[in-house]
Structure 1
Amino acid sequence: MASSFMDFRRLSCFVAVVEQKSFRAAALKLHISQPPLTRHVQMLEESLGVQLLVRSAAGVEPTAAGQLFFEEARNLLALAQQAGERVKLAGQGRIGRLDVGVFGSAVLGAIPKIVRAFRERLPNVEVVLHSLDRAAQLKALRERRIDVGFNRFFTEEPDLAWEVIQTEPMSVVVPERHPLAKRASLSLAELAREPLVLYPRAPRPGFIDYLMRLFHDRGLTPQRVQEVDDVLTAAALVASNLGLSLVTESGRSLSIPGIVHVPLAPADRATVALCIIHRRFDDAAIPRAFVEVARSLGQAATEADRPGKRRRSR
C-alpha cells in the first residue's frame, strides 16, 4: 500500500483539489485534464481505504481524515521539492541553501543585516526567508523545513537550542502633532494615561504581554489598549492620531509620515531580546556558520544601542 499512496503525482493532485476547492480548477492549475486527476484522487482514497473529499455548497472540501492527510501530503511535497532543489544546486556547483524563519519587526532591522553579512561570508549559499510565527517556527525546525529561526520569546525545548543574539531598546511612537511629540523622553506613567496601540495579537504570550508586565510592575494600568496584528498597522494608527505605541529599535526604521520616536524615560528604559533558535544536535556547517555571524553582529549591535549612543529621531 505504501507505494500506492506515496505516488507523488497523486499527492499533488489531491493537494491541488483541496487548495482550489474544485477538481476543475485543480486540473487547470496542474495543466492536465479533469478525468485523470479525478482518477488519481480516487486511487489515493482506494489505497488508503478512507474517504478524503466531499462535495458541499462551497465546493470540494476535505473530510476530517482528508484534512489531516492534506497537511501531511503538503509537507511531503515540500520536502521532496526542497530535496530536488538542493540536488540541483549541488549539480550547478553551488554550496547549498539555508532556510530561515523570520517574523514581524525584526525583518526591518537586525535580520537583513545578518543575512547580508552571511552572504558576504558564504556567497554561494542561497538564503530563503519564511515568515512564520513562533509556534510555526518550532514546528518547521522539527520537520526540517527551516534550519534556523528568529523570534523574541522562547522557552526551553529539549531538542532545540536558542540564544539571545541582540537586545533592542524601545521607544515610543507618537503622532507628530501630539503635545508629547516634543518631549525629550516619556515615562510609562505618562503613557498609561494615553490610548495605546499594541501588537501583535498573536502568538501569546508575546510582546504585548511583556509590555503589560512593564506597566503592572510599576503599579500602572494603561487607559485603553487596542491590539493589532503588526508593527506597520500600529504605526499607521499612531499616524492617524488614534493612540501611541511602543516599538523596538528595528521598528524605528519604518518610514511613515506623521509619527516621531521619543525615547522612554531613563527610569523606565527597557530592552527586548532577539533570539536565534536551531536544532540542538544539528552540526551542519551552513546553519552553524549562520549562527556565528548572527552572534557576532548581535553583540556589535547591542553595544551600539547602549544608552548614550542613540539619538532621538523623527
Structure 2
Amino acid sequence: MDLAKLSAFTVVAEELNFRKSAERLGMSQPPLTRLIASLEEDLGVSLFQRTTRKVSLTAAGLLLFNEARSIFSKLEKIEADVRAVSKIKRGTLEVGFSQTAFLARLPKIIEEFKLRLPGVRFELNQFPRAELIRGLNAGKLDLAFHEGDSEFEGLSRSAVTDEIMGVLVPKTHVFAKRKEIEFRDLKNETLILHPRSENSDHFARISQLCRTAKIEPKTYIKKPHESCPILVATGKGLSLTIAPARDLAFQETRFIPIKSLFLPVSIYWKPENTNPSLKSFLSTTLENQLFKVQTVECL
C-alpha cells in the first residue's frame, strides 16, 4: 500500500472535508480527489460516502482509518528510536544473567556489540531466574539472559542461541571415552540437579526427557554451597551442562555431548523500557545476527 495515498486518506478522514484537507496537505483539491480515488481503486472498496452536503466514512473507510493511525503512530516511534540510537555515544546497560547463560554466548555477544558501540558500558549481575524477572519488571535491569524459552507476561523475548547439551563425567567413567551418548544411556546414573526452585522450567524439561526416554535415573540435588564440577569429580553423579562449561571443568572430568540435544538460551527485556542503549543493543544484535540459533530439538 502506498504510504503517500494512505497519508492523504488519513487527513481526509480526520477533516471529512476535501477542501480543508487539500489546504492542510498544501495541494489543490482535484489531485487530492484523484489520489483518494486511486486508493479506493487499489483496494477495490469505497472509503467515503459523498453527498453535496457532507463526506462520511464507510465501514471499510473507518477500519482503514483506525489501522492507518496505528501504522503512522508506529512509524513516528520508529523514526524517534532511530534518531535516538544514532545519537548514542555513551550509555549504560544493566544486564542480568544466569550462570549457564553467561557460559553460552553472552561474553561474545557483548564483545561484538562493543566493537560497534564502544561507548556503551555493561553492568553485569548474576541472579536466579525469579530475581531476573523482578529486576526487569522493576526497571532495575535492562536485559536478562537466561536458559530456556519460556514466555513471561509483560516481557519480550528473543532466542539467543541453542547450546550443545551434554554431561560432565569423571575421567574414569565409562562414558569418558565416548564421543557422544544418547539421553537414555543415563538410565543407571545419578544426575546432579539444581533445586527445582532455582529454575522450575529446566527441572520440568529434564523430567520430561526422562519420561520420554522411559528412564528413571537417580538424582542428587545440589546444595547452595556446592559446585557441580567438584561433585562430579568426587563421584556424586553426572552433571547436565552445556559445551562451553568444558572450559571451566577440572582435569579430572570430561564433557560428553548428548546426541541431538540442545539447550535454548533467551534474552528478555521490557518493551516499555526507553533506554536508548537498550534499543541500540537490540537493533544491532538482531540486525547483525549476533544471536545464533540451531534448528533442532532443544532441551
User: Structure 1 pair 99/110, CA: closer, same or farther in 2 (3 Å)?
Assistant: same
Cα shift at 1:293: 4.5
**1:138-183: per-residue Cα shift (whole Å, max 9, x none)?**
1111211111111123543342111212111201211101122112
1:263 aligned onto 2:261: no
Aligned to 1:208: 203
User: Structure 1 pair 235/293, CA: closer, same or farther in 2 (3 Å)?
Assistant: farther
Is contact 1:106-1:250 (8 Å) kept? no
- What RMSD, in angstroms, separates the aligned Cα atoms of the two structures? 2.7
Aligned to 1:285: 276
Is contact 1:231-1:251 (8 Å) kept? no
1:185 pairs, out of 146, 155, 180, with 180
Any stretches of 5+ residues in structure 1 without a counterpart?
Answer: 1-92, 308-314
1:236 pairs, out of 230, 233, 256, with 230
- Determine which structure has more spread, i.e. the larger CA radius of gyration: 2
How far apart in 2 are the matches of 1:185 and 1:128?
37
How far apart in 2 are the matches of 1:101 and 1:156?
17
1:109 pairs, out of 104, 109, 112, with 104
Q: Structure 2: which amino acid aligns with 1:125?
A: V
Is contact 1:200-1:227 (8 Å) kept? yes
User: Structure 1 pair 186/232, CA: closer, same or farther in 2 (3 Å)?
Assistant: farther
Cα shift at 1:230: 7.7
Aligned to 1:297: 290
Cα shift at 1:202: 3.1
Q: Give the secondary-structure state (helix, strand or coil) at the position aligned to 1:129.
A: strand
Q: Give the secondary-structure state (helix, strand or coil) at the position aligned to 1:270.
A: strand
How far apart in 2 are the matches of 1:230 and 1:291?
34
Is contact 1:239-1:258 (8 Å) kept? yes
Cα shift at 1:100: 0.4
Aligned to 2:38: none
Q: Give the secondary-structure state (helix, strand or coil) at the position aligned to 1:114.
A: helix
Aligned to 1:145: 140
How far apart in 1 are the matches of 2:269 and 2:137?
9
Q: Give the secondary-structure state (helix, strand or coil) at the position aligned to 1:276.
A: strand
User: Structure 1 pair 231/201, CA: closer, same or farther in 2 (3 Å)?
Assistant: farther
The TM-score with structure 1 as length reference comes to 0.60
User: Structure 1 pair 279/231, CA: closer, same or farther in 2 (3 Å)?
Assistant: farther
Cα shift at 1:213: 1.2
How far apart in 1 are the matches of 2:240 and 2:283?
30
Instruction: Report how many aligned residue pairs link the two structures.
Output: 208
Is contact 1:201-1:228 (8 Å) kept? no
Cα shift at 1:281: 2.8
Is contact 2:129-2:146 (8 Å) kept? yes
The TM-score with structure 2 as length reference comes to 0.63
Cα shift at 1:231: 12
User: Structure 1 pair 232/103, CA: closer, same or farther in 2 (3 Å)?
Assistant: farther
Aligned to 1:29: none
Q: Structure 2: which amino acid aligns with 1:247?
A: T
**1:34-56: per-residue Cα shift (whole Å, max 9, x none)?**
xxxxxxxxxxxxxxxxxxxxxxx
How far apart in 2 are the matches of 1:190 and 1:115?
37
Any stretches of 5+ residues in structure 2 without a counterpart?
Answer: 1-87
How far apart in 2 are the matches of 1:111 and 1:145?
19
How far apart in 2 are the matches of 1:213 and 1:144?
34
**1:4-23: per-residue Cα shift (whole Å, max 9, x none)?**
xxxxxxxxxxxxxxxxxxxx
User: Structure 1 pair 173/225, CA: closer, same or farther in 2 (3 Å)?
Assistant: same
Aligned to 2:168: 173
**1:237-262: per-residue Cα shift (whole Å, max 9, x none)?**
11112211211233233131201111
User: Structure 1 pair 106/234, CA: closer, same or farther in 2 (3 Å)?
Assistant: same
How far apart in 2 are the matches of 1:271 and 1:149?
20
1:124 aligned onto 2:119: yes
Q: Give the secondary-structure state (helix, strand or coil) at the position aligned to 1:135.
A: helix
Is contact 1:104-1:230 (8 Å) kept? no
2:265 pairs, out of 274, 277, 283, with 274
